[in-house]
Amino acid sequence: MRSRSQYLREMGLIPWTLITDTRVIDQYVEPASNDLESPGKVSPSGWTSLQQQVRNCTRCNLHTTRKTTVFGEGNPKANWLLVGEAPGAEEDRQGLPFVGRAGQLLNRMLFSIGLARNDVFVANVLKCRPPDNRDPFGEEVSACESFLHQQVKFIQPKIILAMGRFAAQALLRTDQTIGQLRGRIHRYPAYDIPLVVTYHPAYLLRSPQSKAKAWADLILALAESERVAGGEDV
């Protein structure tokens, strides 16, 4: 069985030592809005109902070209929620998020900070694949965003990791670039949940020189999640 340091080397990273004093991230935290909705609770039957709604969704034209919907995968009570853009061709075939090479890299990234896929919940902004993997249209995001919003409400994660430019811009409702958004803690507006922006694993496969930056993003997210779990965010 491979060690954490072996996974880090595969990612092109030096095995760093994690600084456990999470106070070092305080300088990055942006102030939260005072006009936010409380997460509340969603029943298990509500989660099942939401899955069914996604499965049967015809809100936009993507339902005419999809093979299957991709609701998400993982622990529905996880501390971590990972959000990507939209399903690709293989995800559309399997009905699962982040499969193939990008999914394998994501698994290694999680392992490098002591997590596994079943420790987190992985989802996308869109639940259906855009044809030819094109960028989602605004009306498609508008039609689909309430599903992700309800997933966040049910899961109530300690941290959200937005992977890639599109996911970050959709979640934060901004047009800033990923370079402008990385390196600090944002808040998911609806529920005041800490959110960290990083690169999409597919981008890292094309641009391995950015893996060190992605590792820094993971460390920032890990420190913030531990800070919140420890009660420092109250």
3-state SS, residue 163 = strand
Of the pLDDT bands very low, low, confident and very high (cuts 50, 70, 90), residue 230 is confident
* C-alpha to C-alpha distance for 225 and 234, rounded to whole angstroms: 13
Cα-based distances in Å from 108 to 121, 131, 170: 15, 28, 26
3-state SS, residue 205 = helix
φ, ψ dihedrals at 233, nearest 5°: -105, 15
What is the average per-residue pLDDT within 178-201? 95
- pLDDT (0 to 100) of residue 44: 65
Does domain 42-229 sit in CATH 3.40.50.2300?
Answer: no
- Indicate the domain borders of the chain: 42-229
* C-alpha to C-alpha distance for 37 and 20, rounded to whole angstroms: 31
- pLDDT (0 to 100) of residue 205: 97
What's the chain's length in residues?
234
What is the average per-residue pLDDT within 70-99? 96
Paired tokens of 149 = 């919003």
Paired tokens of 135 = 């960028």
Is the pLDDT confidence value at 171 over 80? yes
- pLDDT (0 to 100) of residue 4: 53
Paired tokens of 105 = 């890299």
Is the pLDDT confidence value at 9 over 60? no
% of the chain surpassing 90 pLDDT: 74
Tell me: the pLDDT tens digits for 34-84? 333 444 455 667 899 999 999 999 999 999 999 999 999 999 999 999 999
What is the average per-residue pLDDT within 102-107? 95
pTM attached to this predicted model: 0.81
On average, the pLDDT of the chain sits at 85
